[in-house]
Amino acid sequence: MNLQLVRDRMRNHIFVQSALSLMLAISMAGPALAAFPQVLYHHPLGATRGGEATVVLKGSRLGDARQILFDDPGIEVLELKPTDEKSVELKIKTEKDLAPGRYPFRLVTASGVSNLRFLSIGTMPMVMEKEPNNQFDAPQPIPMDCTIEGNVDREDIDYFQVELKAGQRLTVEVEGLRHRWGLNNRDILDPHIAILNEKRFEVASCDDSPLFQQDGVCSFTPEEAGKYVVAIRDSSFGGQKNVCGYRLHVGSFPRPTTIVPAAGMQGDVLNASIIDVDGSVRDVSLQLPTGLIDSDSTSEQGTREWSVISEDDHGVSPTPNWIRVGNLPIVHEVEPNNNHRDAPKCEIPAVLCGVLGEANDFDCFSFECKKGKAYRVQLYARETLRSPLDGVVNVFGPDGKTIKSADDVGGSPDGFLTFSAGVDGFHTVRVYDHLRTGGPLHNYSIEVTHQVPNFKLDLKELRRDEAAIVPVPIGGHGAMVLRATRDGFNEEIEFEIEGLPEGVTAQTFPMPKGRVEIPVVFSASGDAKLNGALFDVTGRGKLGDREVTGNLQQNHKIVLGQNRRAMLQQLTDRAALAVCEAMPFDVELVQPKTPILRRGDKELLVKIQRHEGFDSTVSIKTLYTPPGIAVNNSRKIEKGKTEVIVPVTANANAALGAWPIVMQISYATKRGAATVTTAPIMLDVEMPVFNFSFPRTAAETGTEISLTVGVEKQRDIEGDLEIELVGLPNGVTSPEPIQKATLSDTAVTFPLVIDAKAKTGTHKTLVVRTRVTRDGESFMQTDGQGELRIDKPLPKKEPKAKEKKAEKKPVAKPKAKAAPKPLSRLEQLRQQKEAS
């Protein structure tokens, strides 16, 4: 027996566990009628390697399909032919030694790029489901060692019959959820599989599995020859015509569930044990790939996941297992290692590998740390290895006390933590199962490395839950927003784009220190051809003399369950771009000649030049907004119009400097709303010109006063200056609300007229606007709030009439004092005693 190791390009599969629940519809955000193509399902779901196949893609807005982009090599497109807006016929040819598994692809049309879908490649011949096969007594006969392509309708059960010899193992694996696409929690296929004997007794079954989440795998070896039935249905008897397709692998092929150890060094031969679904164990030697990790890169993790395909005399595993391969030494657990106070010692950085072989098992590793140094601990179990282990990680100091712990982190079922050593000495990492379970399948790998500053790149979603793609019209522009996840690296990042189609160029901007988003604008020349491509993005920054690099990993949400939680996701290391049909107009976001000031506002001008026959409304929205800047995104260029003003404001903490501004332009087409972008402009954000101090001012109705506002220069600036008083209360006016100003002014005075009917009370609404005019363009600064109290006039005092003097009353004579009260006998005796 040997193992076929394939695929130089990494194919990342992230399965996020989520319990299926009632199929409640959750509406999708974003334009429901966007012009982007959408592939809902396809038939068949896969093909047999080493041959040709025809696949029909079904969806919407597919009538202008032109190209298929496969993320991995090995599949050749012979022909692509759209038949209507909802269907595309695809003919492919696969290499004979292509590794079994799912291959991501995207459909390119003249208006965009579709959502990510998968084509499965297998080694066994394919058999199509034939209805009626929903009765146990009338199953569809099939041969052993085949892949069945079928669909589960609502309340449907599909039965297939095979003949087995005594001792001939039958293994069944289903690809169900793995081929679903849905972002609205509807029609999610959660398959249940079972093997039944002729008496309809269930001899093996599986709903969910640690290895494939909602997709199951089971195995059975009969003691007697006979006919057996394989049944598949939705676990809750749901299903849907066409969209709930499956691939059911039936045969005696090897189906590993665990590879131990779960990691190795690139270029080495890994001596491993493979545990099959029936519990059998086989020892194998795996030649690991080289160059998977760039040893000189500061942003690469210690390992990357790598697929392993198992092959023996009975066949080839239908889908891969995954292990971690990289440039770190491998440390294997050594029993006894349950006690974190006396754990076996090792050196780091390293990958710590082991198995929690029984219930209540703990595995501990001890390594030396230096005071003040930062360390990174990452557990891999469920997310990559598909281990049943629900791992908890603890780190203990030399004194045996807990420093830090981690269970599930950031939606991942595997723990991750960083810590700084407070003292020199041996620290210990411990792993155990959250529910204290264990067994031979509970394998894990733990990366322990020095924590170094780094960053990762992703693309910001522009439509909710949909991975961003870049449509670039011929002779126009498209754009995306790069997002950086910084981990201790807050310096400026510059970007490189590679793999663009001919005729397309990219304009990048440095991502400033501490910022996490920046746009990239693509331009297609007027003679560019309709085409699509997958392109790479690399970010580079400097930390002292050391270069820090980061690469793109774009996350694609494939299936969302209840509460929009991802049940299936996919990472790709390249993004998709399509050169699309030209726009029916030319658009320009006019570069302003002047800056915007903190606490200020400005107007941006968007102009279009309509081509003949185009008179539709054009909607305008910012793609990227600099920190502290707000843009009015409700503006449109209405029918018959050619321009619109877009108001922009900056708050008091807006980031200073020159920032790119890009507008998204949406318009109606026969396939929905198309969205492109303008070329970028640079918006300068500068400090305010003045600070103002408002006095507390009071006035009476029906009077006139002067309001003097203190002025303090903050900076020099060129241009004509005016200061305008606004926000006056009702009934208060100023005959000269605008005053000319100079940089040397220390105060500005406004005359105020208080109407007799002005509303009384305290009004905190006074605002001054500083207008700077230069090169025929104005920009403003706004400051407030001043206070004006309006009172009613005091009433005039009337002279009072003289009052007659009151006659003096005779003074009463004082009353004579009352005679003292005679003392009691007891009081007399007490006073005599005190006197003596």
C-alpha span between 316 and 124 (Å, rounded): 8
The pLDDT score that the predictor gives to residue 87 is 97
Task: Say whether pLDDT at 660 is over 50.
Answer: yes
24 within some domain: no
The pLDDT score that the predictor gives to residue 412 is 83
Range with the poorest average pLDDT among 63-77, 112-126, 607-621, 796-810: 796-810
Phi, psi of 562 (to 5 degrees): -65, 145
C-alpha span between 161 and 165 (Å, rounded): 14
Please say whether the beta carbons of 231 and 193 come within 8 A. yes
Q: Hey, which bits of 397-437 come out as E strands? A: 402-406, 416-420, 425-433
Q: What is the side-by-side order of every strand in the sheet holding 12-15? A: 12-15, 566-572, 554-560
21 within some domain: no
Task: Say whether pLDDT at 32 is over 50.
Answer: no
Q: The domain spanning residue 79 has which CATH number?
A: 2.60.40.10
Q: Name the pLDDT band for 134 (thresholds 50, 70, 90).
A: very high
Report the candidate in 316, 253, 326, 386 with the shortest Cα–Cα distance to residue 101.
316
289 within some domain: yes
Q: Please report, for residues 95, 452, 455, 550, 664, the alpha-carbon distance to residue 297 in angstroms, rounded to integers and kept in the order given.
A: 33, 11, 12, 9, 36
DSSP secondary structure of 263-275 = EEETTSEEEEEEE
User: b vs e for 400-425, b when ≥16 Cβ sit within 10 Å of the residue's Cβ?
Assistant: eeebbebeeeeebbbbbbbbebeeee
290 within some domain: yes
DSSP state of 564: G
4 within some domain: no
C-alpha span between 150 and 239 (Å, rounded): 12
Q: How many domains does the chain have?
A: 6
305-319 average pLDDT score: 95
The pLDDT score that the predictor gives to residue 797 is 66
Q: In this structure, are 346 and 271 located in the same domain?
A: yes
C-alpha span between 772 and 597 (Å, rounded): 10
Q: In this structure, are 573 and 596 located in the same domain?
A: no
Task: Say whether pLDDT at 761 is over 60.
Answer: yes
The type of residue at 522 is: F
C-alpha span between 409 and 320 (Å, rounded): 26
The pLDDT score that the predictor gives to residue 823 is 60
Q: The domain spanning residue 149 has which CATH number?
A: 2.60.120.380
Cα first-last separation, the chain: 128
At 59, list the tokens.
């969806």
C-alpha span between 442 and 386 (Å, rounded): 9
Q: In this structure, are 230 and 284 located in the same domain?
A: no
Boundary-marking domain end, from 686, 705, 723: 686
Q: In this structure, are 356 and 432 located in the same domain?
A: yes
Q: Name the pLDDT band for 35 (thresholds 50, 70, 90).
A: confident
Q: How many CB atoms neighbour CB 128 within 10 A? A: 10
**pLDDT 10s digits, 338-386:** 999 999 999 999 999 999 999 999 999 999 999 999 999 999 999 889 9
**pLDDT 10s digits, 422-432:** 999 999 999 99
The pLDDT score that the predictor gives to residue 805 is 59
The pLDDT score that the predictor gives to residue 302 is 82
Report which secondary-structure segment, H or E, holds 828.
helix 825-835
Q: The domain spanning residue 467 has which CATH number?
A: 2.60.40
824 within some domain: no
Q: In this structure, are 435 and 486 located in the same domain?
A: no
Task: Say whether pLDDT at 18 is over 60.
Answer: no
The pLDDT score that the predictor gives to residue 16 is 32
Q: In this structure, are 117 and 130 located in the same domain?
A: no
Boundary-marking domain end, from 791, 816, 831: 791
Q: In this structure, are 366 and 419 located in the same domain?
A: yes
Q: Please report, for residues 64, 444, 665, the alpha-carbon distance to residue 441 in angstroms, rounded to integers and kept in the order given.
A: 49, 9, 53
DSSP state of 563: G
Range with the poorest average pLDDT among 235-239, 705-709, 781-785, 806-810: 806-810
DSSP secondary structure of 572-594 = ESSEEEEEEPPPSEEEEEPPPSS
Report the candidate in 139, 55, 40, 150 with the shortest Cα–Cα distance to residue 93.
55
805 within some domain: no
Task: Say whether pLDDT at 831 is over 70.
Answer: no
Q: In this structure, are 272 and 390 located in the same domain?
A: yes
Q: Name the pLDDT band for 19 (thresholds 50, 70, 90).
A: very low
Boundary-marking domain end, from 654, 686, 718: 686
The pLDDT score that the predictor gives to residue 829 is 63
Q: In this structure, are 282 and 377 located in the same domain?
A: yes
Q: Please report, for residues 87, 114, 374, 568, 802, the alpha-carbon distance to residue 176 in angstroms, rounded to integers and kept in the order given.
A: 22, 21, 43, 12, 107
Range of the domain at 672: 585-686
Report the candidate in 489, 409, 495 with the shortest Cα–Cα distance to residue 455.
489
C-alpha span between 113 and 580 (Å, rounded): 10
746 within some domain: yes
Q: Name the pLDDT band for 742 (thresholds 50, 70, 90).
A: very high
Q: In this structure, are 235 and 274 located in the same domain?
A: no
Q: In this structure, are 536 and 422 located in the same domain?
A: no
Report the candidate in 71, 78, 88, 82 with the shortest Cα–Cα distance to residue 53.
78
Q: In this structure, are 269 and 381 located in the same domain?
A: yes
Please say whether the beta carbons of 98 and 227 come within 8 A. no
Task: Say whether pLDDT at 5 is over 80.
Answer: no
